[in-house]
Amino acid sequence: MMTAARKIIEVVPSLLAADLGRLDSELERVRAAGVTWVSVDVMDGHFVPNLSFGPDFVRLVKSKGLTVDSHLMVANPETVAPWFVDAGADYVTVHDEACRDARAALRDIRRRGGKAGLAVKPKTPADSLVALVGEYDLALVMTVEPGFGGAQYLSYVEPKIAAVRRAIDAAGADCWLQVDGGINEKTAAAAAGAGADSLVAGSAVFRAKDPEAAVTAIRQAALGVRR
């Protein structure tokens, strides 16, 4: 059964770039722009050369009434994913490169009551994302090498975004196609034009003078190129 391609664009601020000492006011500023979904980048110092948040931070963010996706940049996602489902994360996204068996990892997240996401780094082919359509609720195509905010968007990834978009649409799968890394007003148009409907943005939002306006500009830029 074909489902209509998503007609909306979700701008998903990444809290990696937020001023955590003023978390409530940072969240209020993006909520004012209609944000209901934020991304928590989880880094273990092994899969990526950085350390960030644990399940307790997801619990805290969930207590603010937001949809939370936890992007697990960890070397042992099968072990860690249940911790984030239990912490209340709405989406738990594991990296194809780190999974022993991505299908099993996705099924385990769903079995535990979470929505499952599968991510690939810029240089990783889309093979798993294409082969596993239907097994995930969110596909994440990274447009930066993971580990830090503020990196430059890698436009060579766009054909991969388009290939995953075609596979999702051909299957009539009801899932998000998320892009994360270097998203701003300009690159959002390119990523949405390639087929993304969920755009993670950290520094372009929280480093902006007016985060509310930044979110709106990213959304409008992406909607302006909807096919």
Whole-angstrom Cα distance, residue 60 to residue 125? 35
Looking only at residues 13 through 42 of this chain, which bind ligand DX5 when binding is defined by CB under 6 A?
A: 14, 16-17, 39, 41
> Least distance to ligand DX5 from the beta carbon of 143, Å?
8
> Which amino acid, residue 21?
G
By the 10 Å C-beta count (0-12 exposed, 13-18 middle, 19+ buried), 49 is classed as exposed
Active site residue 96: no
Residue pair 172/2 in contact (Cβ under 8 Å)? The answer is yes
Provide the b/e sequence for 110-130 (b: ≥16 CB within 10 Å): eeeebbbbbbbbbebebebbb
Contact between 151 and ligand DX5 per CB under 6 A: yes
Contact between 77 and ligand DX5 per CB under 6 A: no
Interface mask toward ligand DX5 for 46-75; x: CB under 6 A: -------------------------x-x--
Contact between 45 and ligand DX5 per CB under 6 A: no
Contact between 147 and ligand DX5 per CB under 6 A: yes
Residue pair 38/15 in contact (Cβ under 8 Å)? The answer is yes
Whole-angstrom Cα distance, residue 169 to residue 183? 23
Candidates 59-67, 105-113, 155-163, 174-182; binding stretch for ligand DX5 (CB under 6 A) = 174-182
Active site residue 41: yes
Query: Contacting ligand DX5 (CB under 6 A), which of 102, 191, 192, 204?
Result: 204
Instruction: Kindly list the strands in the beta sheet with 91-95, ordered across the sheet, starting from the edge strand earlier in the chain.
Output: 10-13, 198-201, 176-180, 138-142, 115-120, 91-95, 67-73, 37-43
Contact between 44 and ligand DX5 per CB under 6 A: no
> Least distance to ligand DX5 from the beta carbon of 15, Å?
9
Which of the residues are catalytic?
41, 180
- The site for ligand DX5 (CB under 6 A) is made up of 14, 16-17, 39, 41, 71, 73, 144, 146-151, 180-183, 200-204
